[in-house]
A = this chain, B = another copy of it.
Amino acid sequence: MQAKKAAAPEAAMERRNGVALWRQIADQIRFAIGTGEFADRLPPEMALAARFGVNRHTVRGAIAALEQEGVLRAEQGRGTFIERRQRLAYPISARTRFSEGLRGQAKDRRGVLLDHAVEAADQRTAEALGLAPGAGVTRLETLSEADGRPVSRATIYFDARRFGGIEGLYNDSGSITIALKSFGISDYFRRSTLISARHASVADLADLRLSPGAIVLVTIYVNVGPDGAPVQFSETRFAADLVELSVS
């Protein structure tokens, strides 16, 4: 037996669960920064080590990872400072639009087309868009960024016959809203949204520049035109560290 070093740690970490302590601690620190717990700098490494009940070197591993991510900046002799804090609040409503939603929270907001294809609709997609199973659909793979940081990764389906060439319009404008205008859709509404959360896939980890084990918030939804007819069926994956969804 040896003397305990201090009071019980505030947040005990799980061991032997396949996630290294330094990564769990990095996730906790990132989250705490998001809630605004730390003003502009982190507590000293020794204080963090006590808080999490681990060795100082383990905390240093977490800090090194967050420095790599651009969240923190450590300065020898001075302390460790917070570089990026904010979590974006993404509103989910009948009139959800990516660019509008982040207005006031980020200066640059744009979508990038990663890939596109025309293919036969699977059952779920056909049902969502009100098409016959196997009908042609245009699939867009997009990445949305805010202030140069990847925020969400979406897979979007349109009726290929009605919206032929929409990939070019989206690529030019970086906006679904603008692309749909060219097809006479001046306005659209979100019919329903299904929200879930899971670990990011390997591909999404790369696109969203996340570290393994990261969580994505997944929204699956259908947008309908003013006449109520389905226009767009999408699955969007948000980096859960960076975004929260707001329903009102």
A residues with CB within 8 A of B: 11-14, 17-20, 22-24, 26-28, 31, 34, 61, 65, 87, 89, 92, 191-199, 201-202, 205, 211-213, 215-217, 240, 243-248
Contact B196–A217 (Cβ < 8 Å): yes
Contact B196–A18 (Cβ < 8 Å): no
Summarize A's interface: helix, strand, loop or mixed: mixed
Contact A215–B215 (Cβ < 8 Å): yes
Given the known A-B contacts A14-B205, A192-B246, are A197 and B212 also in contact in the complex, defined by CB atoms under 8 Å?
Answer: no
Report how far A17 CA is from B212 CA in the complex, Å: 6
11 intermolecular pairs with C-beta atoms under 8 Å apart: A11-B201, A17-B213, A18-B19, A18-B23, A18-B65, A24-B199, A89-B194, A92-B195, A192-B248, A198-B215, A199-B215
Chain B residues with CB below 8 A from A191, complex form? 248
- Distance in angstroms from A85 CB to nearest chain B CB is 14
Given the known A-B contacts A19-B20, A211-B18, A213-B19, are A247 and B199 also in contact in the complex, defined by CB atoms under 8 Å?
Answer: no
Given the known A-B contacts A211-B18, A213-B17, are A202 and B247 also in contact in the complex, defined by CB atoms under 8 Å?
Answer: no
Of B17, B20, B28, B199, which is within 8 A of A211 by CB?
A: B17
| Nearest chain B residue, comparing its CB with the CB of A195 | B245
Copies of this protein in the assembly total 2
Report how far A204 CA is from B198 CA in the complex, Å: 17
Chain B residues with CB below 8 A from A65, complex form? 18
Report how far A227 CA is from B23 CA in the complex, Å: 47
- Distance in angstroms from A189 CB to nearest chain B CB is 11
Of B11, B18, B31, which is within 8 A of A20 by CB?
A: B18
Contact A240–B196 (Cβ < 8 Å): yes
Given the known A-B contacts A197-B240, A199-B31, A213-B213, are A247 and B18 also in contact in the complex, defined by CB atoms under 8 Å?
Answer: no
Contact B217–A197 (Cβ < 8 Å): yes
Given the known A-B contacts A194-B89, A217-B197, are A212 and B244 also in contact in the complex, defined by CB atoms under 8 Å?
Answer: no
Report how far A23 CA is from B20 CA in the complex, Å: 11
Chain B residues with CB below 8 A from A216, complex form? 197
Given the known A-B contacts A192-B248, A247-B192, are A18 and B213 also in contact in the complex, defined by CB atoms under 8 Å?
Answer: yes
